[in-house]
Amino acid sequence: MEERKGFKSTFGFLMAAVGSAVGLGNIWGFPNKMGSNGGFAFLLVYIILAVLCGYIVMVGELAIGRKTGKSAIATYQTLSRKFKWLGWLATLSPFLILSFYCALGGYCIKYMVLNVGNLFGAEFGTNGLSGGAVFEAFMLNQTEGVVFGIIFLLLTMLIVMGGVAGGIEKFCSVGMPALAVMLVVIIIRSCTLPGAVEGLKFMFMPNFEPLKENFLGVLATAGGQMFFSLSLGMGVMITYGSYLDKKKDIAKNALVIICFDTLVALMAGLAVLPAAFALDPEGKIGGPSLLFVTLQNVFDNMGTIGAVFGIIFYLLVILAAVSSSISLLEVIVTHFCDKAAAKGKGDKRKAYSVIAALAASVLMVLVCLDGLGYSGYWVPGRVLVDGAWQYTAMYNDCWLDFFDMLSEGIMMPLGALLMCLMIGYEIGPDVVRDEIERNEGHKMKSYGFFKICVRFITPLLMAMVLIGQIKDFFL
């Protein structure tokens, strides 16, 4: 059997795990959700959830992955009788997320090219059109949407083909520090614009009203955001854990990943919102519109230098998105590579990377063709009754929202909840402790806390998040 090659250094592992966590979710999800759900109050709820759920699930996933040294599917099959099938759920979610993640990644490449066009006054720039007009034309141009989506997916595939150390670790070890530098450049520009303070107020002003009015709603939003942002409940951390050296301290690494991810989310807020409030106060601050309409208006309103900031900004978003999408593809590729190696078929990584990318491209093309609903395609939840469209509670505006709802809203919290039940009640929390303490000197100081959380607190909170999400989507 081929030897399984893992991460070469702690730094490389951390960059890859932080790279998976830091992505589109941090850049347009977090700042806007924080602003609309109570500002600083939301941040407190988020941090509490990150400690009581995020940390517990992250430690659990990394530990069971490293213990078995196998893919998510094989990990659950090895460890559990009752939750044998859970690995399939943890592999299906990345597949769904890849579909819209690569489509959005493609949009970022398009916008970087657009700003290059603006810098040189080329035809492929905005040509004096507003951010909204450019975006609408792009959404209606289905060929362009598909082409950019495919470019992004190819990039993801090529890195995964290079392997865990040769592709993922190498890319993230350079990409993540570069992203941090670019983010600081954009923050300085954004926060020094006249009127920037309004954006800071929007994001950070404590407002307990949303908590009082709809506590479950805020909890569900913070919980969904946390799972998505930390790449939890879906096989990524199990897979990365399986490539982690037995000598590394899992509990410490989990904490570092969570702290960095939250820090980058806050930094992204400082980069994006002050500029948006200063230069496009009428602009939308939620969803893809923030990234592709409001911010493009911001760069256009900065004059010629705006194109330079535009290029830096979209490049940093591409880095963040690629380092996340490679982790998604890796979950699928690892499973098939391990199976092939066990059967003595040798290293099939390259072939499986191509096959997995091809499979992911099917749903991605659908999301690109749909163009955030601009195409008017049929979407689940919309039914034709007597020649007129009726919208059921399950309706989403577009395929992207539908796949997001299924994965982020339901499959991730459900996957993490069931994993906690497996650790808490079937295999026992001491399995995690033993894995962490397998090296002398690594004492799991948080074991008491972990044990109580994994059995009672985390499942309870996750069930509340799940109920809140389902209520939001279906009722």
23 lies in the site for ligand PFF, by CB under 6 A: yes
Q: Give the largest Cα separation in the chain, rounded.
A: 71
User: Is 228 or 473 the residue whose CB approaches ligand PFF more closely?
Assistant: 228
Tell the smallest beta-carbon distance from residue 353 to ligand PFF (Å): 17
User: Is 37 or 327 the residue whose CB approaches ligand PFF more closely?
Assistant: 327
- DSSP single-letter state for residue 125: S
SS3 12: helix
CB 37 within 8 A of CB 205: no
What six digits make up the tokens of 316? 């940093």
- In sequence order, the 6+-apart residues with CB closer than 8 A to the CB of 384 are 390
User: Is 296 or 327 the residue whose CB approaches ligand PFF more closely?
Assistant: 327
CB 153 within 8 A of CB 364: yes
CB 131 within 8 A of CB 297: yes
Tell the smallest beta-carbon distance from residue 7 to ligand PFF (Å): 17
d(CA 292, CA 96) in angstroms, rounded, equals 22
SS3 170: helix
Tell the smallest beta-carbon distance from residue 226 to ligand PFF (Å): 10
d(CA 278, CA 412) in angstroms, rounded, equals 36
SS3 382: strand
236 lies in the site for ligand PFF, by CB under 6 A: yes
User: Is 37 or 297 the residue whose CB approaches ligand PFF more closely?
Assistant: 37
Strand partners, 263: none
Q: Binder to ligand PFF among 19, 20, 419, 433 (CB under 6 A)?
A: 20
Binding to ligand PFF by CB under 6 A, coded x per residue (else -) over 309-338, reads ---------------x--xx----------
97 lies in the site for ligand PFF, by CB under 6 A: yes
Q: Exposed, middle or buried: residue 281 (CB in 10 Å: 0-12, 13-18, 19+)?
A: exposed
The alpha carbon torsion through 286, 315, 326, 287 (nearest 10 deg) reads 10
Task: Determine the interface stretch with ligand PFF among 50-58, 154-162, 229-237, 279-287 (rule: CB under 6 A).
Answer: 229-237
User: Is 328 or 420 the residue whose CB approaches ligand PFF more closely?
Assistant: 328
Task: Determine the interface stretch with ligand PFF among 18-26, 72-80, 137-145, 174-182 (rule: CB under 6 A).
Answer: 18-26
- In sequence order, the 6+-apart residues with CB closer than 8 A to the CB of 108 are 152, 291, 314, 317, 318, 321
Tell the smallest beta-carbon distance from residue 13 to ligand PFF (Å): 15
User: Is 117 or 287 the residue whose CB approaches ligand PFF more closely?
Assistant: 287
Task: Determine the interface stretch with ligand PFF among 57-65, 119-127, 224-232, 384-392 (rule: CB under 6 A).
Answer: 224-232
The identity of residue 462, as a single letter, is M
Tell the smallest beta-carbon distance from residue 337 to ligand PFF (Å): 18
Q: Binder to ligand PFF among 28, 46, 228, 336 (CB under 6 A)?
A: 228
24 lies in the site for ligand PFF, by CB under 6 A: yes
- Contacts with ligand PFF by CB under 6 A lie at 20-21, 23-26, 94, 97, 228-229, 231, 234, 236, 324, 327-328
